[in-house]
Structure 1
Amino acid sequence: MRIDLYQTSRERDAYDEQANLYSIILATEHLERAYARDAVTQKEYSHECKKLLSQFRLAERAVSSEMNTETFMTLYQMDCPRAKERLLIQGVPEPMKGGSDEASHAVTVAETVQHFITTMDAVKLEQRAVDELQPLLSDLLDALTRVPDTPNDFEPNHRIQKWLQKLNGMRAVDEIDEDDSRQLYHDLDAAYTEFTRYLKRS
């Protein structure tokens, strides 16, 4: 006996989007496990993880009108703790430390400053949608984690990570309110100030 999961093309598209999100979460879990076992190099891991994070944001946006990702994982009984940590909490690949080459360091610092400015400008221009802010904060945190020799408890990283975690718990179509927007700008400004202090000390 055949059981149809959908009756219309719209329902079929919805199931396809959910299947896509499911496969991305599963692939991320396998990648994280492989990296933990040293089965892939750091370069391979970083490349694949960035690709999965980008695909995840698109897939999450397509499914977000129905449920958030945590609800999705619970509904389909997905036991993927590493993927959940990477996709919903960290939002960036595991930091790549090392590479203290002076030119490389200068490029990374310049990129980080640019990401700070871009993100702060977006908040100042009252961009409040999750799918507008989340990629900016994710790119900023990715740049921060690539700055060499920062301590594990580097305050700017924690500030940005806190906001990413908050946004990752919301749907892509949701918006932060005015109070959150002001707090986000304050935290970005404080993180940028601490980052510039670190540069002067180093």
Structure 2
Amino acid sequence: MEEVKLWRDKRERDMYDSFADLYAIIKTTEKLEKAYVRDLVSSSEYEAECLKLIAQFRTLHSALRGTVPSLERFAEAYRLDAPAAINRLLVSGVPATVEHRSAAISSGGGSSASAAAVAECVQHFITAMDSVKLNMIAVDQVHPLLSDLSTSLAKLGNGLLPSDFEGRTKVRDWLARLAKMGASDELTEQQARQLHFDLESSYNAFMAALPNSGKSDALLISYDLEAQLLIETTMLLMYIL
């Protein structure tokens, strides 16, 4: 009986190998999410493994954008029932522990942790907005910045921000949109303008939601970062001219 091969050449074989890797990542993430919910793994073990799976997924998904434009369709084609994995890998982009880590910040004695978390959020907001202003609008330029911002907002938790803070939702929506594009794709002028508007409005809402002490620290950080960016931009222009 003649053996039937799935591939005709090395390129197709590599593609099917990548499909198998993607399938394994999705299945493993789904099992990890269920294990975490059932308290079968510790938070630290879950977070370490989840971060690794998310990093592997982003690398592989970026390489397969031409052949796997939709993760949902891939899961449907290969009969993968993995809603938790798709949400974690494609929509959230951060471990559940990071999303829900607010106890240390909101509990007593967490003022220094709160200040550090606020500083991180301010830094990522300003970096993302300035990058869009400087026309750094390729997906592989924008996505890491928004991912960092999403992670920092999740770390802040609900201790200082309301649980329904719209900025979190807007950033997650943009991450989901970018995940469906190719790494070298660029935002259109209209998309870039909308992204900057969403970031700016979210940043203003973020500042308005902070208590007075946190707001003062955040404003100082904001001024320092903007001054630093102005200096760096001026030096770059002097070098070019």
Q: What is the TM-score normalised by the length of structure 2?
A: 0.77
Give 1:3-152 correspondences, 5 Å limit.
Answer: 3-68=4-69, 69-94=71-96, 95=99, 96-100=101-105, 101-148=110-157, 149=159, 150-152=161-163
Alpha-carbon distance, 1:173 to partner: 4.1
Kept in 2: contact 1:130–1:172 (CA 8 A): yes
User: What SS class does the counterpart of residue 172 from structure 2 fall into?
Assistant: helix
1:134 Cα shift? 1.9
Q: Tell me how far 1:22 sits from its aligned partner.
A: 1.3
2:68 aligned counterpart, secondary structure: coil
Match of 2:201 in 1: 190
Per-residue CA shift, 1:159-186, capped at 9, x if unaligned? 2112122222334343321111100000
3-state SS, counterpart of residue 195 of structure 2? helix
Deviating above 4 A after TM superposition, structure 1's stretches of 4 or more consecutive aligned residues are none
Determine whether 1:157 maps to 2:162: no
1:116·1:140 contact (CA, 8 Å) conserved in 2? yes
Equivalent pair of 2:150/2:172 in contact (CA under 8 Å): yes
Residues 99-151 of structure 1: CA deviation (Å, up to 9, x unaligned): 12222222222222221122112211223332322222111111101114132
Q: Report the AA paired with residue 10 of structure 1.
A: R
The residue matched to 2:151 in structure 1 has which SS? Answer: helix
Q: Which amino acid aligns with 1:65?
A: G
Report the structure number with the largest CA radius of gyration: 2
Moved more, 4-13 or 50-59: 4-13
What secondary structure does 1:84 align onto? helix
Output the CA distance in 2 between the equivalents of 1:190 and 1:155.
10
CA distance in 2, matches of 1:76, 1:172: 24
**Whole-Å separation in 2 of the counterparts to 1:162 and 1:88:** 10
Maintained 8 Å contact 1:91/1:138 = yes
Per-residue CA distance 1:24-75 (angstroms, 9 max, x = gap): 1111111111111111222222222222111111010111111222222222
SS of equivalent to 2:6? coil
Whole-Å separation in 2 of the counterparts to 1:41 and 1:153: 28
- 2:162/2:209 contact within 8 Å kept: no
Q: CA RMSD in A?
A: 1.8
Cα distance in 1 for residues equivalent to 2:48 and 2:14? 29
Distance between the aligned counterparts of 1:32 and 1:93, measured in 2? 9
Cα distance in 1 between the residues matched to 2:115 and 2:93: 24
Q: Which amino acid aligns with 2:13?
A: R
Q: Which has the higher contact order (CA 8 A, sep 6+)?
A: 1
Distance 2:185 2:81 in 1: 26
In structure 2, C-alpha distance between the alignment counterparts of 1:55 and 1:118, rounded to whole Å: 25
Kindly state the Cα deviation for residue 188 of structure 1 after the two structures are TM-superposed.
0.4
Which amino acid letter does the alignment assign opposite residue 104 of structure 2? G
Letter in 1 for 2:196: Y
> Which residue of structure 1 aligns with residue 226 of structure 2?
none
Q: Tell me the matched-pair count.
A: 202
Identity score, percent: 44
Farther off after superposition, 170-179 or 83-92 = 170-179
3-state SS of paired residue (1:172): coil
